[in-house]
Amino acid sequence: MTTIRTPTGDPSPVLGPNPQTVESLDGYLAAGGYRPCPDTGALLDRVAAADLRGRGGAGFPAATKLRSVRDRGGTPVVVANGEEGEPGSAKDRWLMRARPHLVLDGLALAAAITGADRGYVYLSDAVAAERIRQALAERDPGLPVSVLRTEHAYVAGEETAVVRRIDGGPALPTAKPPRPFERGVGGAPTLVANVETLARLALLSRYRDGAATTALVTLSGGPRHPLLTEVRYGTPLRTLAELHGVPQPRAVLMGGLFGGLLDPDRLELRLDQAELASAGSGLGCGAIRFLDADECPVAITADALELLAAESSRQCGVCVSGTRAMAETLSALATGVCGTEGTANLARWSRGLPGRGACGLLDAAARLAGSLLAHFPELVAAHLRRPCPTCAATPPDSGRRLHVPAPDIAPGAQRLTAIDRPHTTPGARGTARATLSPTSG
Ligand code: SF4
């Protein structure tokens, strides 16, 4: 079970005031949704000024991506990417289950900006797919939109895998270039945008401020259920650790598996792309796992590498051999049977393997191994002799403990009965605060 909690004091433009319920079309329209966009150039300028970043993992500037597709020539295709591959993340499934119209509004606006004549919603979650289909049946978004379900896999949401799957192939990454904006679905310039990015695009079309100043985050680890919430950029990791009830974590696993491990001395780092990058980490999709006192960073890293080795699409020889070798070495380290040659190999691989695979899986694996060595050298050295008491008691579990479930959303449609705004930062126009009541019939 994953808990959803709206933040106290902070704006929550995406999570909204009633995240446990499905937002109805009436509610979405009453809050200002699906407004026509008479000036797509001005909206693009607003996206750039707000510095909206992609929320799928890489954090690429959304305006640059939209502009690249628009200016490529031909008739583009737009894709709402809801395939949530990182094992610690639940935000995208929640968003599509609870606020399908917000996602579709963002997709329609992306089509208007780029000149696309068709769109896709790409995902694996069956509940979310049904909600999106219901929303499409309730209201025509103004362009043909297909819902395409794929098999869930770590690499299935990688943008070239998305294009390949939509074109009828397997959901596996391809070599770049070409990138989808150059040659995507059916050869057309294609925007593959994360669903949270599109939701924020829709909010930016209505509210000049606030829509890009927060991020959905999924917090896990410790004794509590995983928590989905929305926080401002700039929030220190320490604040999030306290919010999740692990005030003194032993380590922090960042971005799902994308951002590697941080040690507890880095808790003053803030949710800021540049700041996290300077520490060799990253926010990624916003999944953050706080390791409690009874979890060993070595065992968690071994779990993560085992998961990545199992999820490798086995297309690049360097990934097949490199990720598996790192997983086996870390498993040996966790069980206390790894020598110094093994840790020397880990150090060498963590430096030499990034950038050599066709997708980011190999990079994530190398960053995890490297961050363990960099931030926990004494723990690693101790593990050369024997497993620590924690690892001896709880051996690696092949990554199963790293997954979090999507939060439950009440399936019955809700009807908006009152609006009370504004809701966001001082000076911002904010999002509507809606009072919802169950539909009577
Ligand atoms: S890096 Fe690994 S997961 Fe990515 S495409 Fe190559 S083999 Fe597949």
Per-residue pLDDT at 405: 86
Helix (H, G, I), strand (E, B) or coil at 50: coil
pLDDT exceeds cutoff 50 at 309: yes
Does 104 contact ligand 1 (Cβ within 6 A)?
no
Residue nearest to atom 1 of ligand 1 (CA): 357
Average pLDDT over residues 105-125: 98
Nearest CA to ligand 1 atom 3: 312
Residue 7 banded pLDDT, cuts 50, 70, 90: confident
Per-residue pLDDT tens for 55-104? 998 899 999 999 999 999 899 999 999 999 999 999 999 999 999 999 99
What is residue 217's three-state secondary structure?
A: strand
Q: Which tokens belong to 220?
A: 């896990």
Is residue 188 within 6 Å of ligand 1 at its C-beta?
no
Q: Is 155 in the pocket of ligand 1 (CB under 6 A)?
A: yes
User: Domains of the chain (ranges plus CATH)?
Assistant: 3-213 (3.40.50.11540), 217-402 (3.10.20.600)
Residues 6+ apart with CB under 8 A from 63: 44, 45, 47, 48, 52
Q: How far is the CA of 257 from the centre of ligand 1 (A)?
A: 15
Does residue 174 have its Cβ closer than 6 Å to ligand 1?
no
197 lines ligand 1 (CB under 6 A): no
Ligand 1 center–CA 284 separation, angstroms: 18
Q: State how far the Cα of 357 lies from the Cα of 352, in Å rounded to an integer.
A: 11
The H or E element that residue 325 is part of is helix 317-334
Can you tell me which atom of ligand 1 is nearest the CA of 174? 5
CA-nearest residue for atom 5, ligand 1, is 358
What confidence score (pLDDT) does residue 8 get?
A: 74
Range 284-291 average pLDDT: 96
Which tens digit of pLDDT belongs to each residue from 182-209?
999 999 999 999 999 999 999 999 987 7
Does residue 315 have its Cβ closer than 6 Å to ligand 1? yes
Answer whether residue 334 shows pLDDT above 70. Answer: yes
Q: How confident is the model at residue 411 (pLDDT cuts 50, 70, 90)?
A: low
**For the segment 344-384, what is each residue's pLDDT rounded down to a tens digit?**
999 999 999 999 999 999 999 999 999 999 999 999 999 99
Looking at the chain, the whole-number percentage of residues with pLDDT higher than 70 is 93
Q: How far is the CA of 321 from the centre of ligand 1 (A)?
A: 11
Sign of the dihedral through C-alpha 384, 389, 391, 393: positive
The pLDDT assigned to 433 comes to 27
Sorting pLDDT into bands at 50, 70 and 90, what band is 435?
very low
Between the CA of 184 and the centroid of ligand 1 the distance, in Å, is 19
Cβ–ligand 1 contact at 314 (below 6 Å): yes
Q: Predicted confidence band at 441 (pLDDT cuts at 50, 70, 90)?
A: very low
Pair 191, 201: CB distance under 8 Å: no
Q: Note whether 249 and 292 are within 8 A (CB).
A: yes
284 close to 304: Cβ distance less than 8 angstroms: no
Task: Tell me the average pLDDT across 135-147.
Answer: 96
Instruction: Assess whether the C-beta atom of 322 lies below 6 angstroms from ligand 1.
Output: no
Q: In this predicted structure, what is the pLDDT of residue 416?
A: 35
Contacts for 158-164: CB closer than 8 Å, 24+ residues apart? 158/85, 158/359, 158/360, 159/81, 159/192, 160/358, 160/359, 161/359, 162/79, 162/81, 162/83, 162/122, 162/192, 163/79, 163/190, 163/192
Read off the pLDDT of residues 242-286 as tens digits, 9 standing for 90 and up: 999 999 999 999 999 999 999 999 999 999 999 999 999 999 999
Q: Check residue 432 and give its pLDDT.
A: 29
Place of tokens 């979890």: 295
Residues 414-434: b if buried by 16+ CB within 10 A, e if exposed = bebeeeeebbbbeebbbbbbb
Residue 392 has pLDDT above 80, yes or no: yes
Answer yes or no: is the C-beta of 319 below 6 A from any ligand 1 atom.
yes
Please tell me the distance from the alpha carbon of residue 389 to that of residue 391, in angstroms, as a whole number.
6
Lowest mean pLDDT among 11-20, 239-248, 297-306: 11-20
pLDDT computed for residue 400 by the predictor: 80
Residues shown for the chain: 441
- Answer whether residue 429 shows pLDDT above 80: no
310-330 pLDDT per residue, tens: 999 999 999 999 999 999 999
Q: Does the pLDDT of residue 414 top 70, yes or no?
A: no
Q: Taking the model in full, what pTM does it have?
A: 0.91
Measure 91 CA to ligand 1 centroid, in angstroms: 24
pLDDT surpassing 50 at residue 332: yes
Residue 154 Cα: closest atom of ligand 1: 3
- Going from the Cα of 305 to the center of ligand 1, the distance in angstroms, rounded, reads 14
pLDDT, residue 425, reads: 28
The response to whether residue 35 sits with its C-beta less than 6 Å from ligand 1 reads no
Cα–Cα distance, 300 to 27 (Å, whole number) = 43
- What is the average pLDDT score of the chain? 90
Cβ of 109 closer than 6 Å to ligand 1, yes or no, is no
156 in contact with ligand 1, CB cutoff 6 A: no
Confidence of residue 15 (pLDDT cuts 50, 70, 90): very high
User: d(Cα 322, Cα 312) in Å, to the nearest integer?
Assistant: 10
